[in-house]
Structures are given as structure tokens and as C-alpha cells.
Structure 1
Amino acid sequence: MMTFTSQILMLLLLLLSSIIFNKGVSTCNEKDQRTLLIFKKGIIDHFGRLSTWSSEEDCCAWKGVQCDNNTGRVTKLDLSPPYEEKQYNSLEGEINFVFLELEFLNYVDLRENEFDMIRIQPIHYNVTYASKLRYLDLSWNAYDIHIDNIHRVSELSSLKYLNLNGVDLHKETDWLQVFSMFPSLLELYLKDCNLNYISPSLKYMNITSLETLDLSLNNFNFELPKGLFNLTKDISYLDFSSSKIHGELPLSLSNLVNLTYLDLSYNQLKGSIPSWIGQLGNLQHVDFSYNMFLGSIPSTIGNLSSLVSLYIGSNFFSGVISEKTFSKLLNLKDLDLSNSTFASHFDPKWNPPFQLNRLSLANTKQISNFPSWIYTQKSLQVLDLSNVGISSKDGNKFLSFAGGISNLRLSNNSISGDISNVTLNSSYIAIDRNKFTGELPHISPKAELIDLSYNSFSGSIPRDWDNMKYLIDINLWSNRLAGEALIHLSNLKRLRVINLGKNQFSGMIPINLPQKLQVIILRDNQFEGNIPAQVFNLSSLFHLDLAHNNLSGSIPQSVYNMTPMIIGTINYIAGFRLNLFTKGEEYEFESYILRQTIDLSANNLYGEIPLELFRLIQVQTINLSHNNLSGTIPEMIKGMKNLESLDLSNNKFSGEIPQSMTFLTFLSFLNLSYNDFIGRIPVGTQLQSFDASSYNGNRELCGAPLKKCVIEEDPTRTNPSMENEDDDSLRESLYLGLGVGFAAGFWGICGLLFLVSKWRHMFLDRMTDKLYVTLMAKKNCSHKT
């Protein structure tokens, strides 16, 4: 009988032998390892992702490599970066198709790196050309990556999944025929491949196995070929969005009876939506938005009982929509009817059969009150009723219902009421351009974007706003708010945009503003004190507007570190419109239209402009007008070649306008009026293109477009000092002319003498004789004395 200790030892021996046995079986095949090392040679690996790829290590243990446990043959190659690393951990170099010599390889994923070349070598005669490869993903590498010979890829006869998104295929005119040669292909992704042609000989193609086809973001610029949809009936996913296709929907599209996903958005399709759309009973997602469709929505669309998402906004639809249109859509979750001219006739008592997650009726202008059926939608996460003409006075009731919706947009209506007791638990809140009154509503700490602009809110920013740690963008423009707002916002570390303009906020600008700030707009308030030097060290800042406040002191002399204004790097992307002032006027820009701006106008600033400001060479707008600033404009302003608008008016600047300003070729607005500039306006196309108002109020400034300078108007003026200066100039000119004449005559004669041999000898002989006689006479005279 075995003892307990013996049993333990036996188990350990069995476990150890199992480990050794398995390790021996899974050892990487030597030929596969050599092939992978050849593949690695073309890769540039800055971050050491392939540090384990060494001939001294078993290739089955290499990062991104997977082998069969029994044979040790490589079956999978996955070098796609993890999501959290893809921004900074990409591989570069070439994709060498030598990996196809791995005979048992069935999966290759090289997506989302920075490979800029694909090299397909001739395959050796004794290789089965990766006949087992089922999955190949080369998508989203370097923007100019391309395949020179796509026909070689078509030899992958077992391929079921092929993703070439972002690979440039613009040279391929028979691409569809090539891809139809894959007998087993189920999914084909050719998004953003710069495709611009479909062969007319579609009848010779065979893509009957295909289930997914993505051709979005291409440059087709033609009507959909009618024969394209006769090639397969098994396709379930079809995406032609943003591909510049036009014309009407072809009848052959109705053959795709298994279609579940259809996206034709952002094209130039026209005509009406045909009634046969109701025959595609398996449709779950339909997106016809941003086209040129006309007419009414066909009633047959209500037969699509499997429909989950319906996006038909941003067309030219008309007619009436009512509950009958949607009464059978039991599974509907997303509905977009925005930017249309429907007449809405919903029964006030209608209770829809669906529960929506997303609803957009924006810019339909057909609603005078909140549609009562919306109150039944308890699952809403996104609600957009912007610019629909709602004039309800019961904003409190509706916001109490909608306060939990994560993305709430009610912009540009006429909703009124005091909503100070309402709590908004949304992360995206846009209730701007309404008639809300009273104090600001309570807002959840999870809020990320808040736009309450163009209302009549009063009071101050609530103390609990200190807790909004996720806040990125806040817009309170044009209300009646007061108090020291920046105290409550300065500790919000994620904040990128502060727009508090046109209120009555007061206090000083704190030195500890959030470091990620990209836009600061404090215009038209009552802020006071100095501008902290720390403002000019916000490394992401590209728009600074502190105009029309009570700020004093000088502009800080610190080293400016605003990277976007120095090298032009800007990462700001957000969803709100911004009120920007440039070229002497107010503009309203979409927030993704970026302008590098410094506006410190209408304050009490004094002193000279720091030279650091003129090193911000990417700035487009500078406005320092209506202050007490002094000093001169330095020559180094010529480096600000992106400058479009410069306003230094109503200050105490002096000296001459530097000639270097003629290098500012983008300058389209200039105001130097009411300063102490002197001298002539530099001559150049740019500075003479402005009218006199740009220079008025500088008494000693002259030249076009102002009056001519005095010396040009009347050179004979009797001013004594001028006369003396003229006499001196004339005398200097006369002496200079005589000197030049004498020199010219002297060297002219000397030249002739030295050039003509006979004259030279005669002249030199005579001069020698004369000189000899003169010297002898002087010598005799000296002896006599």
C-alpha cells in the first residue's frame, strides 16, 4: 500500500511529465519561426512590442502569435494594438505577405498600426498559399498605404473575412471582379479605399456567398448599378454611405430579401422612397438621412416590424406623419425625422407600441407644444427637439421628465419658466436660446457638456457645481448671472471650454485655472485685477477673450507657452457653438471651426506689449484696443504670417509703423487709429488696401491711404529749419557730384593712357621731364638761400 507521501510524489511526477510533454508538443515549428523572423525584418518597432520575437525563444510564446497545441504550427497572428495603446504603441514599416507561407495560418489581424507599405512576394511553388487563411484584417494603417497587385490576394480561396478599410485602391478598376473570385467570402469591408469605379460587366461576377459589404466613404460619383443587387440574395449588411452616389433607388435592391442593415446616408439620392421598401421584412437598420429624397414617407414602411433604427432626416420629405406611420414598429429604438417639413398629426392620446432610446425631431418646425406621446418613452437616452418651434410655458414639467435623459437638446425654442428647482441628470445638456428664468437648475455631477446660453437666468453659480469633475465644456453666454463664477470652476481639471461672456460676473481671475483649458471667454463682465501670468502658460489654450472688463495692470511678461498659438497643434473637438469676435464684428462659429485669438480690448491695461506675444506666430486675431498701452510695434511682427485681424486702436502706441508689416499677407482687418504713430505708412499692397479709418487719429502719420507726406506735397516750404536742411542737402549733393565728376574724368584719362601704348609713353616721358626740371629748379633755389 502506497503511503500518503508516495501518493503526493506520484501526483507531482505525473504533473511534471504532463507539463514536459505538453511543452514538447507545442514547440514552434522551425520553418514557421524562420518565416515570422523574415516578416519581422520589415517592421519598425519603436516601442518594443516585438521584443519577445527572438530566435532564442519559442515562437509559440511570442507576443501576438498563437500555435496549435498539438502540432506547434502557427495558426494565428494578431498584432493589432490594444485599444488603450493604439495612440502611441503602433508598429511601422511594411506588411510582408511572406506570412502566407505559414501553411496552417487561419487568422491575421494587423489593423490600426502605422504600416505604410504592403509587399506581396511571389509564392514558392511548394507552398499551398495559406489555403487555410479565413480571416485577414489590414485596416486603418497609414493613410497612403496601398496594394499594388490586389489580384494576388484573390488567390486566398478559403478567406471568409477581408477588411481593407483605409487601404488606397484607387488604381483598381476591376476591384469588384477581383473580390468576386473569393468563393467563400462572407464579409468584405472596403470603407474609405478611394474607390471610384464599378465595372459595367457585372453579369460575369459571382458574389453569391457574400453577407456583408461595406463600400462607404468612397468616391463613386455615379448611380447605383442596377445589376449590382442581382449578384447575391444572401447579403444582410450593405453600407454605401458617404460615397457620392446619386440617382434613384434601383428596383433590384428589393431582391435583397435577407437585408437587415441598409445605410445609404450622406449621398445625393433623389426621388421618393418606393413602396417596395416594405417587402424587405428583415430590415432592422435603415439610414436614408442626408440625401435629396422627396415626397411622403410610404405607408409600407410601417410593415417593417423588425425595424430597430430608422434614420430618414435631412431630406426634402413632405406630407403628413401620424401614429399610423409607426403603429406596427414594435421593436423601434432609434428614430430620426430631423430637418424635414412633415406635418405632424399625432393623436394626443396615442400610446406608441415601442420604447425609444434615441429620438430626433430637430429643425422640423411643426411642433407648438411637447408631443404628449414623448412622455410615454421611459427609456430615452438621447432626445433632440432643437429648433422645432416649441413655445410651451410648462418647461418645468417637461424638464422634470427629461432630466434623466443622458443627451438632452432643446436649443432654439421659446420654452419659458423658472426651472431652479429642476434637477438635470444628463451628461449633455443644451437648453440654450430659450426663455428660462430664475436661478440655474441643479445639475448632476456626471455632466460633461452644459449649454445654458441665451436665456434669462439670474443669481450666481451654485456651490455644488464644484463637484462636476467630468465637466468639459460650459457655456453661460448672455444671461443675467453674477458673482465670482471662476471660484467654482477653477478646480474642474477636465474643463476645456469656459464661456461666461455677457453676464455680470465679477472677482479676479484665479492663478490656478484648469490646465487643459483651450477656450476662455470672459467677455462683457466685471472681472478686475491683473491678468495672471499663468493664463499665458496654459499649454492647450488657443482662444483667449477677456475683452470689456475692468482688468488693469500690464500684460504679463512671462514666457508664453500656448502651444496651439506657436506651432498650430489643436485637439479641441466639442459640440457647442462659440461667439467669437474678429475683424471688428461678432461671429458665431461651430466649435470645431478653430480660431487662434487673443482679445484683451476695452480694459485698463497699460505698459508695452511683451515681445513674447509676437512670438505666437499662429495667432489669427489680436485685439488690444481701448486700453492705455504704449510702446512701439516691433519688427518681429512680420513672423505672425497667419494674422488676419489686428486692432491696436485707442491706445498710446508711438513710433513708426514697421516696414515688416507689409509681410502680413493674410491681414484683412487693421485698425491702428487714435494712437501716436508717426512717419510714413510703409508702402505695400497690404497696408494700402485699408481705408483711412484704419489710421485716423495719428496726427503725424502720412502716406496712402492718408494724405501725402509733407515733403512730397510742397518741397519749397519756407520753414527755416526745412530750408537749412535743404541747403545742407544741396551742398552735400554738389560736393558729391564734383567729387564723382573729378574721379570719373581722372580715371577716364588715366584709362586711355594706360590702354593706348603710344600716348602712355608720350605722357609719361613729358611728365618725367617736367618733374625733373621742377625738382632741379627747387634744388637750385634752396642752394641760393
Structure 2
Amino acid sequence: MFGGKLNPSLLDLKHLNYFDLSFNNFSASPIPEFLGSIKSLTSLNLSNAGFVGVIPHQLGNLSNLLYLNLKSSIFLGLYVNNLQCGVDLSKAFDWLQLTNTLPSLFDLRLSYSQLPFIPPTLIVNFSSLLTLDLSENQFGNTLIPSWIFGLRNLVSLDLFENYFQGPIPIDLQNMTSLKHLDLSLNNFNSSIPNWLYSFSHLEFLNLRYNNLQGIISSAIGNLTSAISIDLSENELGGKLPRSLGNLYNLREIKLSSNNGSQEIFEILERLLACLSNRLEILRLFNSQLYGHLTDELGLLKNLAILDLANNSISSPLLLCYVQIPFFQFNKIDNIFCIWKLADFKCKSRLDSSLSIGDFKLAIMEIRARIFSWLCSQRYLLYLDISNIQISDVIPPSIWNLSSLFIYLNLSHNQINGEILNNPSILSTSSVIDLSSNHFKGSLPYISSSVIVLDLSVNSFSKSISSFLCFKMNDSKSIGYLNLEKNNLSGKIPDCWMKWNSLVVLNLANNNFSGSFPTSIGSLTLLKSLHLYNNKFFGNLPSSLRNCEKLVIIDVAENEFSSLMILNLHSNNFHGHIPKELCALTSLQILDLSHNKLSRGIPGCVKNFSAMATKNNSNLDMKYSTILPLESELLVIKGKALEYSTILHLVKCIDFSNNSLSGEIPKEVTSLQGLQSLNLSYNFFIGSIPENIGAMGSLESIDFSMNQLSGQIPSSMSSLTFLSHLNLSNNNLTGKIPLSTQLQSFSALGFIGNKLCGLPLSNNCTINDVNLDKENKGSKHNGGLEVDWFFVSMALGFVAGFWGVCGPLLLNKQWRIMYFQFLDHTGYKLKSLVLL
């Protein structure tokens, strides 16, 4: 966990060849440029060290470099959020173009570095490069960069999980020196090309999780150097070719989840030809296999992992010949059963009568005698007897077994009894799953070796204190702790500081009470916290802010002081805004800005009742006591300001800088106490909600950089408190409504639209207005909309004109009297002027 900044005094190490900083924490700092001046370096490993930013071009000065590992950093991460600023990302790859300065490099690893793309103009000519790892960068639905195919001397190419599309590129056929090829987890949608089977040097081939179709050609027998082949999770059909048995070096074959349909006996017959003493892993999960599993299986003498789950394989099953430490079956004769029995040989089988016959009978016998059999075992490492309807009382002697269990799963049965304190059976286990049974009593002591512990859905009761605080000198290594749905009660002790490896903590559906201890803040790795349906009260501890990795927090149905502030801005959250968020009715500040959220805003935001009501003095006094020393940095009115003493008065929503889409829901307008609404830099369409004027407390609106259309609602002119408005860069049209507020704003808040009127310099003409209304009528009504204002004005003019002039034209006496009146009036006006 080294961190901080590297000291340039490292330059004094003139003869340094090997420099490895991997698996440290340099706190999102960039790679120091001075590393490029340590000319003697031949190996540089900066993987998993927390570096971010641009890869410095100075690394191109390391002319003696043979090995460069930058795996699991976040390169260009500083730029990804600012793509709209026009940053030229290709400059970050200038160092790669310095082909003459890295002539000796043979191993380059950039996997899991969040590279957004590799510029297609990049030309790389590392003539010595043997290993290239660009896996887990998720370049998106693009083609494999063509420059890779020019690296003819590559021995290892890893492009795992980049979602490249199209067929497997034919240009790969010239890379015949490859020994390791991993194209798994991409979007290739072709068949396996025949030329791939000609790679006689290929030892490891992984095409898992693509959309590969067709059949597996008999030419697969030409991969004579193959040690591991993984074609699982595709859409390959047909039967396995007999030539598969010719791969005499094969140790692993994984063909799970394809569309083939074949008898299990045929597969075993073909594999036994040359592989009976070599094959170690065989995975055919969910492969539509059928038929009987016979004693032929026992001839695979070195088999370590066998997975035939989710097929239609039936008895007889001769366990006597099975000598494998990991043995898994599923849905044999429609009975759901999983076996993971270490060192399961004839001498340690349940009973000789169980080695032959119907598998259903074996399951029945197992249920009846499982515990007595277990007590006789001495070498079991893995035991999974979950979900086979065991309903016995577990004997106390079981907990004193001398077996050194690594994996223990008794879940989803009806096992009764208590767990003895300090049981030896749990002293060495890494994974313990006793969930969904009827265990009772106090929670057992768990040793520091346990990594996963699931005791959920049982009847454990009493306090949790002795469990959490037992031997405080010991630190726990446990990462997953699930105690949900028990009868545990009492207060949670302040003992979490020794559980700092926890990633998932689930205490939901118990009877815990009291306030939650502040030591929860020491769980800096915590990602998921479930406290649902207990009797906790008071405030959530402010130390939770130390749990920076939290992505799930469920505190519903407790008596906590209602959550008022949820600030998750500037992370990498993705997916959609969950509707469950609307249950936080007391929220006053919701900031999800600068993430990767997509889809729309849920209409249930109307449930934010604290935002729907205007501030009142009684509530203000109450909340000011809840947040006496709190402060938050919020972006309101286009400025980042820190709010402290008046924080309890602020009500705002900020969803800016995401990938949200759809229309702005009209339910937003029910939040009449909201003061700031920022939806900028998204992909919203449709019109601004017509009733936005009902949000009378709004002081700041920012809808800029979206795709909104239509006119600015006239109701916006009634927002008398509005002091910041930005509607720029949308598709808005028509005249800006007249009000004392809107015309006082800067014109910059309206540019990038088709608007007219103040504060813009382009005035609206009658033709412009008519055109806008015509377009609006065409869009919404399918034709021209009649403007009755102008129609009535024209009719009024006609009626007024003929109402006066008509009688004068028709009656001569009226005309004489009218003109005499005009002469008399004119004479009087002339006399007044002369005076």
C-alpha cells in the first residue's frame, strides 16, 4: 500500500534494471515523467498501482526496455469525462509511435486500463514485441485495430473483454507464431475459420463468450500443440469431432453452453483415445448431453475437474471408479444434486452398495446417513451437499472433525441444531455456507481464515457482541458476511475496526436496535451495506463517508433520522436511476452528476415530499439541529459553493453530465420546493414540461447541452425567484416569453437554439411567429393550426370600418351632417391655434 509521490532521487540508481511498483496505491496520480530517464531499465511494472492520466511519452526514451506492464490503471480517465471539450485523445498514444526508441520491447501489457479507443491511424512497428495484452479495456463495438496484425512475431495476444465486433479477422492468419490467443468476451458473430486450426504452435486458445456459430471442424485435430481449448458460451452446434482425441498434449477442454447434442458415451470414447492419462479439466455444462454415464469415466485417471451439470445424463453411476477431487453433477434423473467431494475414492465411499445402481437411491441413502458418514472422513477438503432435503439434527461431534475443510456448503436444507463454540471444522475453512436451514443458538466463533460466511435464513438469536468482538487482537479476513433473516437482537457493538476486509455486510431482517456504531467507517473496502428492517434509530454515522467504495446501501424500515442528503457525484456509477431511490422521501439534496447513468428519470421523483414542500420555520429548526456541523460542496447557479449553516434550507437535484435520455417527466414539476434543477449534458428530448411555472421556488435551472425541442413554456415567466437560467445548445424554437426575469438573463443562456426575442439580438417578426406556430401545428396536429387572435383582429377591423362608413354611404342626409361636423370642428381647432 505504498502511496504518495515518487522521488526523483531514483535517478541516482544508475544501474537499475528491474523496477516493480505493482499492487500499491498511488491515489490516482499520473505516472512520473522522470521514469523515462532511468535509461538502464529493462523491466517496468506499474500494474494495479492506481496510476491514471496520460501515459507519458518520456517512457519512449527507455531504449533498453524489454518488459512494460501498465495493467489495471486508468489511462485517459482524466479525459473521458471531458470529451465534449474537443480533447485529442490520440496525443496520449504519441509514445507508442516512437518505434525507433523502444526497439527491444518484447512484452507490453495494458489490460484493464479503461482506454476509450486506439486511434486507427496508429502505426506500431515493434519488431521485437512478443507479448501484447490489451484485455478488459472495453473499446466498444469496433473492429480489432489493423496495426495489431503487423506484429508478426507475437507469441501471446490477449484481447479479452473488449467487445470487438464482426467476424474473426482473416488478417490474424499470418500470425502463425502465436502460442497464446485469447479473443474471449467479444462480439464476433462468425464461425470458427478453418485457417485458425492450422496454428500448429498454439497452446492456449480461448474463444469463450462470443456469438460463434456453425460446427467444430474435424480440422481441430491439427492443433497438435494445444494444452487448453475453451469454446464455451457460444452457439456452436453439431457433435464433437473424433479428431479431438488426437490432441495428445491437451489438458483442458471447455465446451459448456453450446447448441450441440450428443451422447456422453461418444464424447468419453473420443477423449479416451489419447487423453486418458493427460486430461485434467473437462467442462460440458449445459451442453444438451444425454445417455448413461458408465465406468469409462474412471479411465480418465488425472481428471481434476469434471462439470456435466444441467444435462440429461442418467444412471448407472459407478462412483467407485471416480478418483477426482472436484466432481460436479446436476439434474441427473431430474434430481438436483451437487457433489464436491475431495479424494473420493473407493476406500472412502459411503457404502459399496451405493457405488452401483440408481442415483436416486444413492441420494436417499445420503440423506439418511450423511452425518455418520461425514464423521468417519479424514481427508475431505471440499464438501457441497446443499439443497438435497436433509432434515436431521446435526450431531455435536460433527463440529470436531479433523478434516481441514476449505469449502463447506450445507445450505438450503432443513438441518437443525446448534453450532458449538470454537469448532475445529470451521477453523481452516475459507468458504462457509450454512444458509437456509434451522440452526439456532448464538453465532459461532469464526477464525481469521474465513473469507465468505453465509448464516442467513436461520434461527440464530441473542446478541451479536461476542461474535463481533471475540479476541479483538485478531483481524478478520472475511470479505462477505451475511446474517440476514435471523432472530439476532440487541445493539451493534463498536467493534468493526477488526473487520476491515469486509466488502459485503448484510444484517437485514433481524431485531437489532440502537444507533449504528461509528467504527463502520473503518470498513473502507465496503461496497454493499444492508440494514433493512431492523430497529436502528438516530443518525447514520458520518464516518460512512470513509466507505468510498459503497455502491449499495439499504437502510429502509428502520427508525433512522430520515436521509436528507445523497451525494454520489463524480464516480463511475452506471445503469439507470433505480425507482427504489424514490423511497427516500426526506431527501433535500440529490446529486448524481458526473457519472455514467443512462435511461430516463423515473416518474416517482414526485415522491420526494421534502422537495415538494416549501421551507417553513418549524422544519428548518428541526433539521438545523440534525445537521449542525455538516457542510456540502454543491454546484448551484453555475458555481461550486460550500453550504454549511444554511445547508438544511437547500433543496436541489443535479443529474448533469450523465447519459440520461427520454423526456423530462412532468412529475418533476410537483417538486414545488425545489430551488435548483440541473439536467445539463445529457440526451433529453421532447419539450420542457409545460407546468414548470408551478415550481415557484426555483432559483436555478440548467437544461443546457441536451436535445430538447419545442417552445419555452410561457409558465416559466412566473418563476419570480429565478436568478440563473441556461437553456443553451438544444433545439428550442419560437419567442422567449416576456417577463421581468427572462429578459434580464444573459443571452449566453439561450444560444444554440432557434429562439428570438430579448435578451437575444434577433427580434421576432410576425412572420417568424406565424412560422413557429405553423410548424407547431404541423407537428402536433398534422396540419396548420388556426391562430384565432389574428382572425378576430381582422374581423373586428372589418366590422368597425363598415359600422361607420356603411351608413354614410347609404344615407345622404347623414353624410351632409357628418361633413358639417368635421368643418365645424376644424374651424374651432384653427381658432385655438391662432390664439
Taking structure 1 as the reference length, the TM-score comes to 0.57
Within the alignment, does 1:498 sit opposite 2:487 as a pair? Answer: no
Offset from partner CA, 1:102-157 (integer Å, 9 cap, x none): 9974714153252513557699xxxxx94x65444444446146446589538x2x
1-structure distance, mates of 2:467, 2:683 = 43
Q: Which secondary structure state, in structure 2, belongs to the residue aligned with residue 241 of structure 1?
A: coil
Over 3 Å counting, the alpha-carbon distance change for 1:358 and 1:657 in structure 2 is farther
How many Å apart are 1:220 and its aligned residue? 0.4
Amino acid aligned to 2:188 = L
1:433 aligns with 2:457: yes
| Residues 1:196 and 2:189 are matched in the alignment | yes
Distance change (3 Å), C-alpha of 1:304 and 1:397: farther
1:524 alignment partner in structure 2: 557
Aligned counterpart in structure 1 of residue 158 of structure 2, from 158, 163, 169: 163
Query: In structure 2, do the counterparts of structure 1 residues 745 and 254 end up closer, same or farther at CA, with 3 Å as the change threshold?
Result: same
Q: How far has the Cα of 1:213 moved from its partner?
A: 1.1
Check conservation: 1:214, 1:238, Cα contact below 8 A.
yes
How many angstroms apart in 1 are the aligned matches of 2:129 and 2:517? 60
Counterpart in 1 of 2:106? 107
Task: Give yes or no for the alignment of 1:303 onto 2:305.
Answer: no
Q: Deviations over 1:55-96 (max 9, x none)?
A: xx797669869xxxxxx9967554431556769699965599
C-alpha distance in structure 1 between counterparts of 2:108 and 2:519, whole Å: 48
Number of the residue aligned with 1:186? 179
* Other-structure match for 2:411: 386
Task: Specify the structure having the higher radius of gyration (Cα).
Answer: 1
Alpha-carbon offset, residue 451 of structure 1: 0.8
1:461 corresponds in structure 2 to: 492
Q: Does the aligned pair in 2 maintain the 1:196–1:220 contact within 8 Å?
A: yes
Given the alignment of the two structures, is residue 745 of structure 1 paired with residue 778 of structure 2, yes or no? no
Distance 1:480 1:335, change over 3 A: farther
Q: Which amino acid aligns with 2:108?
A: D
Aligned twin of 1:283: 279
Find the aligned partners of 2:313 and 2:805 in 1 and give their Cα distance: 94
Matched, 1:515 2:546: yes
Measured in 1, the distance between the counterparts of 2:671 and 2:451 equals: 48
Deviation, structure 1 residue 237 = 1.0
**How do 1:178-577 residues align onto structure 2 when only pairs under 5 Å count?**
179=172, 181-198=174-191, 206-225=198-217, 227-274=218-265, 275-276=268-269, 277-279=271-273, 280=275, 281-295=277-291, 297-317=293-313, 319=315, 323-324=319-320, 326=322, 328-329=323-324, 332=325, 334-337=326-329, 341-342=336-337, 343=360, 344=363, 349=373, 360=384, 362-363=386-387, 378-387=403-412, 389-396=413-420, 401-402=425-426, 404-412=428-436, 414-423=437-446, 425=448, 426-440=450-464, 442-443=467-468, 445-486=476-517, 489=520, 492-516=523-547, 517-527=550-560, 530-531=561-562, 555=586, 560=589, 563=591, 565-568=592-595
Q: Secondary structure at the match of 1:219?
A: coil
> Quick one: distance in 2 between partners of 1:739 and 1:183?
84
Is this contact kept in 2: 1:495–1:514, CA < 8 A?
Answer: no
Matches within 5 A, 1:111-150: 111-112=110-111, 113=113, 114=115, 116-117=118-119, 119=121, 130=127, 134-141=130-137, 143-144=139-140, 146-147=143-144, 149=146
* SS at 1:513 equivalent: helix
Checking the alignment, whether the CA contact within 8 Å between 1:278 and 1:301 is kept in structure 2 is no
- The 8 Å contact of residues 189 and 215 in structure 1, kept in 2 or not, is answered as yes
Deviation, 1:198, is 3.3
Distance 2:426 2:124 in 1: 63
1 CA distance for matches of 2:671 and 2:292?
67
Instruction: Give the gaps of 5 or more residues in structure 2.
Output: 1-12, 18-28, 46-60, 80-88, 338-359, 469-474, 621-647, 661-669, 685-692, 704-789, 810-814
CA offsets, 1:156-175, max 9 Å, x none? 2x543333445666445663
Question: Matched residues in 2 for 1:418 and 1:502: separation?
Answer: 21
1:637 & 1:245 partners in 2: Cα distance? Answer: 51
Do the aligned residues in 2 keep the contact of 1:213 with 1:239 (CA within 8 Å)? yes
**In 1, distance between residues paired with 2:827 and 2:164?**
103
Match of 1:153 in 2: 150
Unaligned 5+ residue runs, structure 1? 1-18, 27-45, 66-71, 124-128, 572-581, 585-594, 621-629, 644-654, 664-735, 753-758, 760-764
Shift of 1:481: 3.1
Question: Which residue of the partner structure matches residue 5 of structure 1?
Answer: none
Q: Taking structure 1 as reference, are residues 619 and 434 closer, same or farther at Cα in structure 2, changes over 3 Å only? A: farther
Q: Which moved more, 1:353-362 or 1:284-293?
A: 353-362
Q: CA–CA distance in 2 between the matches of 1:598 and 1:254?
A: 65
Q: Relative to 1, partners in 2 of residues 1:534 and 1:139: Cα closer, same or farther, differing over 3 Å?
A: closer
State the alpha-carbon separation in 2 of the partners of residues 101 and 433 from structure 1. Answer: 64
Q: Relative to structure 1, is the Cα distance of residues 283 and 739 closer, same or farther in structure 2, using a 3 angstrom cutoff?
A: closer
Report the TM-score when normalising by structure 2.
0.54
Partner of 2:824: 774
Check 1:615–1:100 CA distance in 2 against 1; reply closer, same or farther (3 A cut).
closer
In the alignment, is the contact (CA less than 8 A) between 1:273 and 1:298 conserved in 2? no
Q: Secondary structure at the match of 1:244?
A: coil
Percent identity between the two aligned chains: 17
SS at match of 1:501: coil
Aligned partner of 2:651 in structure 1 is 612
Distance 1:498 1:246 in 2: 44
Report the 3-state secondary structure (helix = DSSP H, G, I; strand = E; otherwise coil) of the residue aligned with 2:264: coil
Deviation, structure 1 residue 260: 0.9
Equivalents in 2 of 1:596, 1:445: separation in Å?
A: 44
Measure, in 1, the Cα distance between the counterparts of 2:541 and 2:606. Answer: 22
What one-letter code is carried by the residue in structure 2 that aligns with 1:442?
A: F
Amino acid at match of 2:106: Y
Q: In structure 2, the residue corresponding to 1:744 is in which secondary structure? A: helix
Secondary structure, counterpart of 2:797 in structure 1 = helix
**Closer/same/farther in 2, CA of residues 597 and 748 from structure 1, 3 Å limit:** closer
**How far apart are the structure 1 equivalents of 2:423 and 2:594?**
44
Q: Structure 1 pair 201/435, CA: closer, same or farther in 2 (3 Å)?
A: same
**Residues in 2 aligned to 1:60 and 1:98: alpha-carbon distance in whole angstroms:** 21
1:442 aligned counterpart, secondary structure: helix
How much does 1:453 deviate? 0.8
SS state of the match for residue 234, structure 1?
coil
1-structure distance, mates of 2:102, 2:532? 67
Shift of 1:235: 0.9
Q: Does the 8 Å contact 1:416/1:435 carry over to 2?
A: yes
RMSD: 6.0
1:24-66 deviations in Å (ceiling 9; x for gaps): xx9xxxxxxxxxxxxxxxxxxx94666666xxx797669869x
Secondary structure at 2:118 match in 1: strand
- Tell me how far apart the structure 1 counterparts of residues 822 and 518 of structure 2 sit (CA, whole Å): 102
Residues 543 and 504 (structure 1), Cα distance of their counterparts in 2 relative to 1, 3 Å cut: farther
Q: Report deviation, 1:258.
A: 1.7
Cα distance in 1 between the residues matched to 2:542 and 2:676: 29
CA deviation vs aligned residue, 1:197-241 (integer Å, no higher than 9, x gap): 236656x9632222221112221033333x242222321111113
Q: Hey, what's the Cα distance between the residues in 2 that align with 1:186 and 1:766? A: 115
State the one-letter code of the partner of 1:162.
Answer: L
